[in-house]
Structure 1
Amino acid sequence: MTDLLLLAPDGRVRTELLVEHEPMLTPATPLKSRVAYAAAHVIPKPYADNVPGAPADLDWDATLAFRHHVWSQGLGVADAMDTAQRNMGLDAAATRELISRSAKEAESVGGALVVGVNTDHIDDEVISIDAVIDAYLEQLHFTEDAGAGVVLMASRHLARVAESPADYERVYNAVLGKATTPVILHWLGEAFDPVLAGYFGGRDGDLNTATDTLLRIIEENADTVSGVKMSLLDADAEIAVRARLPHTASMYTGDDFNYVDLIRGDGTIADLPDGGRSDARGHYSDALLGAFAAIAPVAARAIRALDAGDPEAYERILRPTEALSRQVFAAPTFYYKTGVAFLSWLNGHQESFTMVGGLHSARSLPHLSEIVRLANASAALERPELAAARWNGLLALNGIVEPTAPPASPPAPEHAEGERLETGTTERTA
């Protein structure tokens, strides 16, 4: 098979063999033991003016085809989330079109879909609490009318104006009181968006106060809140909140560093006669992960191992992907979207490695090289030969090619009558 070129931070180049993996198969049955959503990215037209500050100009065929790829593996799609570059290139008009188009595609195939509801159609400014509520409700009603499920995302506007946990409760209770469909709440940590530091009133890293606020919101809206997605990159915090959730709400891990253990959990799952899940849900997390967009076939295969009662196979399949995900989500974490799009390009889901807002330039070649190495090791390259050709070609475009052995030194010339030139001198032989 083709060699991969790998580039170290100091500029050294070495080669590594592609690893042969099991072929990607389209599953025949839905996932049973866990609910899993992949937070999908968007794919721009490669020739469009997708520069910083310009409106997003998307390749809708490729963008929607990627969602069908996720659905084909048995996963749900979480759309118009931060993975889709909300607040980082995806403008309000493109966000609404994405929600409308994805909802229609989901309906056409019976695919599970939830989408982000936020306040980001308002300019990036300080607004009142009442204005935050109105902005949330505008997007909520649009999303429900489109027929998509709702993820109520953390709002930058609310983070700026809220002065206490009571302000968060006021906003969330007002918005959730108007929802007509189940809602997943989203607790996004400051590693993903520094503006959200202290969300839910937990200033200066006070997770206890933030957790208490979140739980009061859930309890006061038990008929509406179906779960919470935690993206703090803190497994202990997620487990602590998970243990306190009411039975009406599921935990969806958004921890792209520790998802293997969080999804596996510490409980056993029993099949119920109606095809539902047991009440062991408090001992594991479901999934809503940007990482799963990058490794959809591997993630689905791992969860099917849990469906089959084979946790050892789950561990063997999914554990290697965690190192890959940690590289994709390395600090500064909010640039992880570049790695997701890069893997999509390597795997043939888009024709160019480009992103809206020019965000494909947010990671260095050595960083991407390590993604390639870890993807190769964890079976995340769906078409290995294509991935190698594209990656090696990108390196060549940047003047980086496979090193060649230096030519052997030629023998010193011989001279007449036994003379031989050696190191600048002549010596007569007998």
Structure 2
Amino acid sequence: MQTNFTEEQLSDPLVARSNKILRACVHCGFCTATCPTYQVLGDELDSPRGRIYLIKDMLESGRDADEKTVKHLDRCLGCLSCMSTCPSGVDYMHLIDHARIHVEKTYRRPWQDRALRWMLAKVLPYQGRFRLALLGAKLARPFARFMPDARLRAMLEMAPKSIPSVSRNDQGQVFAPIGEKRARVAMMPGCAQRALNTDINDATIRLLRRAGCEVVIPEDFGCCGALTHHMGREEEALHSARATIRSFLAAGELDAIIINTSGCGTTIKDYGKIFAGDPMQPEAEQVARLTRDVTEFLDRHGLPEGQGEGLRVAYHSACSLQHGQQIKTTPKSLLTRAGFTVVEPENPHLCCGSAGTYNLLQPELSGELKRRKVATLEATSPQVIAAGNIGCMMQIGSGTGVPVVHTVELLDWASGGPKPRALAEA
């Protein structure tokens, strides 16, 4: 794609990077075939190629974002399926990130949108605030159908039936390995996940300890910055990311940093580029190099001995894992090695519609994507659905009666841990 940025514009590192990305696009349109929103809406402007044109025009002209551009960019899930498909290697992830930063700086949204986005940014990344919000949503959920705004209804309906108690395992401490020590790792406890499902971290710690790992839970850990980063709120995202980097570095010498929420993992692995040119770039790159998805680490390190129950598991590959981190077969192979029968739905590359805050900001589109994803998963006749991201688990779980668990919960169970709560209560 030909671009015409001025030398002055190209002096901005973000513009220079976006210029390089735009020039890589050859307009082939392969991305439209795998874009979830294009599949639903059929509008070229709701495909990666269409959005690339909108972004180019906005950035190249140096103009403020307008309503039309914002509408189509907001509809992008950021699932990155287009990047897995693109034959030219177009780095859409960093292009849409730049566009969202530009939108946040130059476009004044209607007050309802501003209020909702402010609330999400100030509540979801903070465990205590999120727990209070979930409690309020749980109490108000019977009145959801009377809410005129679909986004408010979506927020109320997201609240789980029960809110787990605070887990002591999520607080700063060190867990000794079971048996011979083979590695020293830090585990990111997450933010929203600690309020929604404490079983995931508990299972991860047990599994890693059985695999001979000393597990460090960093002190004073908050949000990694992924949520605000994808909303274009860059100052807030960088503030959270700096705190995350300091927490990991304070943990001492590590063999790996373990992430069990793939949306966070994709962002942390990108810290080196996010902090490009920043004084903290060397530390950011160090953390990014050490970061591993829990399945990625266990595949190299080795699973603890054990044998699963042979259940039929439909595996949902989170977009942030298969497209963002290009980890596609590893979780399935680990589940198979642990004794489970693994099946995969039709069109596994398509998003379930969760995508961070997308299901709250775009509930109609998200709901249609959820309906399609649940239908393909249930068509495999599973006894349980497994995923590697809490957002996907919540999204899919709200649309099916099949138990939905994290991949590590099944691996933990197969190697001597307790039966996953979702299965035990089914």
**Which has the higher relative contact order, 1 or 2, with Cα contacts under 8 A spaced 6 or more apart?**
1
Q: TM-score, normalised by structure 2?
A: 0.28
More helix by share: 2
- Asked which structure has the greater CA Rg, the reply is 1
